[in-house]
Structure 1
Amino acid sequence: MLQQALARYPFDLPGYYLLKVLHESDNAIIFLANNPAGLPVAIKRFKFDTSKLGKSLVEEFLMETRALELLNHRGLVKPLAAGIASHALYMAMEYVPGTTLRRALTTTPIPPLEQALRWLEEIALALAAIHGIGLLHQDLKTSNILVRQDNSLALLDFGLETRLLVASGFMRMDEIYCTPYYVSPERIMGDAPDERADLYALGIILYELLAGHKPYESTSLGELLKKHAIAPIPRLPDTLSGYQPLVSGLLAKFPENRVQSATEVVRLLHEIRAQQAV
């Protein structure tokens, strides 16, 4: 599989030894590699044509990658380096062995409540960290969250490359670059995302952790998007009703009615847990 991937998307980074393909998506291939010190790293090699990108846009991407590296937050998969090699843009990242939250939930659809709430707080704190330096995730979903070997979480696939995908012609400006199950109503309408779009996706994940399924489901893309836009916010089981205000606050249809920050999510979660303990 490695040689087949390299035949289609050549990549050679001096000092790094590619071992295997970890994942392939529409816009990138992620390789497992050893760095010059012989330590494992993950390298994301983007598929789009870098010749169509302006120098300033690439430099902005590299600066944002560096900002995340300096942030050094455990709830984020840490970028280690970025640049252009073999005429392709790449990002070398911390290698996190384990599984994704999506896969973990296929074996245990409803995790113990304490585990679910701890995971919610970890995701919210990671979002607060990237929002705090002016970045958005823009594609938050359970398959973009890794479960570390100590059972803590780390967010993956930040929205750094969205502007690059548009500039390279790989996607159109009006395309929704996120998974339909987690897309906010305002993004469906074509509005520019802000922190509250990430918080809507967090609300989807919270409901999924507590109820064992997504709040809106359909085999039809159009019907699914319609549910995000106009369907009532679903109710949690009575035994979890104390967490309904937080779910409703995150899944509000209009961003101005939503919980306004990831820090506020953590504060509200602590308040609810304190009330539940009384």
Structure 2
Amino acid sequence: MKHRLLAQYPLALPGYQYLSILHESDNAIILLANNPSGSPVVIKRFKFDASHLPQDLINEFILESKALGLFAHRGLVQPLDAGIASGALYMIMEYVQGVTLRRHLATIGTPPLAQALQWFEEITLALGVIHGIGLLHQDLKTSNIIVRHDQSLALLDFGLEIRLLIASGFLREDEIYCTPYYISPERIIGDPPDERTDLYALGVILYELLVGHKPYESNTLSELLKKHAVAPIPRLPDNLSVYQPLIKGLLAKFPENRLQSANLVVRLLQEISQRVNAGSSIS
């Protein structure tokens, strides 16, 4: 499979040894490789022909990749480099060993409350870093989060390539680029995304971590989208009701009614935790 895909989508990076294909999507292949010094890295090689893209768009992608890489935040899979080779655009990222949060939850079920809240805070802080440099994630979901062996988390895919996918024809301007289980109501009707769009997906993840399933589920896409758009915000079980303000603030149907930033989400989480801890000490 590796040889077939590399023959179809070549990428000549001197000194890099390609080890295996980690994933293939409609628009990219993800390779595990050793860099020239022998350390493992992950390379995302886009399938579209970069020669047809505006140079300023390519330069913007490379600059944003390198800017995000400067933060070296543990909650983000760090971009290491980006460029063009063999007519293809690529991004080199650190190799983070672990499994996706989606797979981890499928294995362990609903995590203990303390673990769920710690994970939620880690995800929120990492999302705040992305938003802090003017980027959106646009595809936040449990399958884009890696659980390391020490149980810490790292976010994958930072929405850097959205404009490239549109310019290359892989994505229409009005096409929704996300997973239906995590889509915000405003994206369903075609409104442009902003930070609050990511925060809606964060709310879905919080509900999933606390309860063990997603807030809205359906066997059909149309019914699922309808639930996101008009169904009431689900209530948490009584033993978790103290966290309902977070769910309400993240899953509000209208962006203006949501918590407006990752920083505000963390602040509310800390306030709730302080009340919970104060109540425990009194009792």
TM-score interval w.r.t. the shorter chain? over 0.9
Q: Deviations over 1:158-181 (max 9, x none)?
A: 100000000001111111001111
1:87 counterpart = 2:87: yes
Report the alpha carbon displacement of residue 105 of structure 1 after superposing the two structures with TM.
0.6
1:226 aligns with: 226
Q: Deviations over 1:231-264 (max 9, x none)?
A: 1111111110000110111000000000010011
Report the alpha carbon displacement of residue 86 of structure 1 after superposing the two structures with TM.
1.3
Secondary structure class of the residue paired with 1:45: strand
Could you list the structure 1 runs, at least 4 aligned residues long, displaced by more than 4 angstroms after superposition.
Answer: none
Structure 1 stretches lacking a partner, 5+ long: none
Report the alpha carbon displacement of residue 72 of structure 1 after superposing the two structures with TM.
1.3
1:217 aligns with: 217
Question: Hey, what's the Cα distance between the residues in 2 that align with 1:32 and 1:172?
Answer: 30
Matches within 5 A, 1:147-158: 147-158=147-158
Question: Hey, what's the Cα distance between the residues in 2 that align with 1:40 and 1:190?
Answer: 40
Q: Deviations over 1:110-154 (max 9, x none)?
A: 100000000000000001111111111111000000111211000
1:253 aligns with: 253
1:63 aligns with: 63
Q: Deviations over 1:172-230 (max 9, x none)?
A: 11110011110111111111111000000000000000010000111211111111110
Question: Hey, what's the Cα distance between the residues in 2 that align with 1:106 and 1:73?
Answer: 27
1:104 counterpart = 2:81: no
Say whether the 8 Å CA contact 2:130–2:158 is kept in structure 1.
Answer: no
Pairs aligned (count): 278
Report the alpha carbon displacement of residue 7 of structure 1 after superposing the two structures with TM.
2.3
Question: Hey, what's the Cα distance between the residues in 2 that align with 1:157 and 1:129?
Answer: 13
Secondary structure class of the residue paired with 2:42: strand
Secondary structure class of the residue paired with 1:92: strand
1:196 counterpart = 2:201: no
What amino acid sits opposite 1:88 in the alignment?
Answer: A
What amino acid sits opposite 1:147 in the alignment?
Answer: V
Say whether the 8 Å CA contact 2:45–2:90 is kept in structure 1.
Answer: yes
1:122 aligns with: 122
Question: Hey, what's the Cα distance between the residues in 1 that align with 2:185 and 2:48?
Answer: 28
Say whether the 8 Å CA contact 1:97–1:148 is kept in structure 2.
Answer: yes
Question: Hey, what's the Cα distance between the residues in 2 that align with 1:230 and 1:49?
Answer: 40
1:163 aligns with: 163
Say whether the 8 Å CA contact 1:109–1:209 is kept in structure 2.
Answer: no
Report the alpha carbon displacement of residue 83 of structure 1 after superposing the two structures with TM.
0.4
Question: Hey, what's the Cα distance between the residues in 1 that align with 2:82 and 2:130?
Answer: 18
Say whether the 8 Å CA contact 1:75–1:123 is kept in structure 2.
Answer: yes
Single out whichever of 5-14 and 148-157 deviates more from structure 2.
Answer: 5-14
The share of aligned pairs that are identical, in percent, is 72
Secondary structure class of the residue paired with 2:169: coil
Secondary structure class of the residue paired with 1:110: coil
Say whether the 8 Å CA contact 1:105–1:111 is kept in structure 2.
Answer: yes
Secondary structure class of the residue paired with 1:71: coil
Structure 2 stretches lacking a partner, 5+ long: none
What amino acid sits opposite 1:244 in the alignment?
Answer: Q
Q: Deviations over 1:78-124 (max 9, x none)?
A: 00000011111100000001100000010122100000000000000
**TM-score calculated relative to the size of structure 1:** 0.99
1:73 aligns with: 73
Say whether the 8 Å CA contact 1:75–1:122 is kept in structure 2.
Answer: yes
Q: Deviations over 1:44-69 (max 9, x none)?
A: 00112212210000000001001101
2:175 aligns with: 175
